[in-house]
Amino acid sequence: MPPLDPALDPDVDPRALSDADWRAILDPMEYQVLRQSGTERAGTGRYLQDPGPGAFHCAGCGQRLYGAEHKFHSGCGWPSFFDSVAPGALTLHRDRSLFMVRTEMRCSRCDGHLGHIFDDAPHMPTGQRHCVNGTAILHVPAGQDPVAVFAAHRG
Ligand SMILES: [Zn+2]
């Protein structure tokens, strides 16, 4: 029996899933980014081109994280957003890896790694660039049911 999928059933607690559950639910790159804090190579991920109106949901648990209206082109090689849909959608953590101090963002529902926040977008309303791995999010086109979009994505 496949593990219960928090993106398909809101009653599933993603924090109760085992590592093996996540491996079974996610594709290998999603697993590497979300569950092992991996980073996709610049310029290789999803959504470097705008997919259109709608929202971007956590590819792990399905929580809505960003609206299309928050996305902007930074040229950094990853999808960039200047804000999230709600302050509670993300949790922030100090990341001291790679000999740098950075602010890591995780999904507040499943604790999946999303990317990092940088204060280098002075032309945007918040001044911030949320540098998100495209692999860590899934676009749900405006007017479509997120569960149906996730079901199709999971295959
Ligand atoms: Zn999540």
State in Å: Cα 112 to ligand 1 middle.
Answer: 5
Q: What is the pLDDT of residue 150?
A: 98
Please give the positions annotated as active site: 131
Over range 11-31, report the average pLDDT: 96
Return the closest-CA partner of residue 105 out of 95, 120, 90, 119: 90
Bridge partners (DSSP) listed for residue 141: 54
pTM for the whole structure = 0.95
Query: Contact 141/47 with Cβ under 8 angstroms?
Result: no
**pLDDT(20) > 90:** yes
**pLDDT(1) > 90:** no
Question: Which phi and psi (to 5°) does residue 33 adopt?
Answer: -75, -55
State in Å: Cα 58 to ligand 1 middle.
Answer: 5
State in Å: Cα 109 to ligand 1 middle.
Answer: 5
**pLDDT(7) > 90:** yes
Domain ranges (residues) in the chain: 16-154
Instruction: Tell me 71's DSSP state.
Output: E
For 47-77, write each residue's pLDDT tens digit: 999 999 999 999 999 999 999 999 999 999 9
Q: What is the pLDDT of residue 99?
A: 86
Q: What is the pLDDT of residue 120?
A: 95
Q: What is the sign, positive or negative, of the torsion defined by CA atoms of 116, 66, 154, 47?
A: negative
Q: What is the pLDDT of residue 155?
A: 85
Q: Rounded to a whole number, what is the largest CA-CA distance in the chain?
A: 49
Q: What is the pLDDT of residue 9?
A: 95
Q: Topology of 16-154 in CATH?
A: 2.170.150
Q: What is the pLDDT of residue 100?
A: 87
State in Å: Cα 83 to ligand 1 middle.
Answer: 17
Over range 70-93, report the average pLDDT: 96
State in Å: Cα 107 to ligand 1 middle.
Answer: 5
Over range 134-142, report the average pLDDT: 98
For 99-130, write each residue's pLDDT tens digit: 889 999 999 999 999 999 999 999 999 999 99
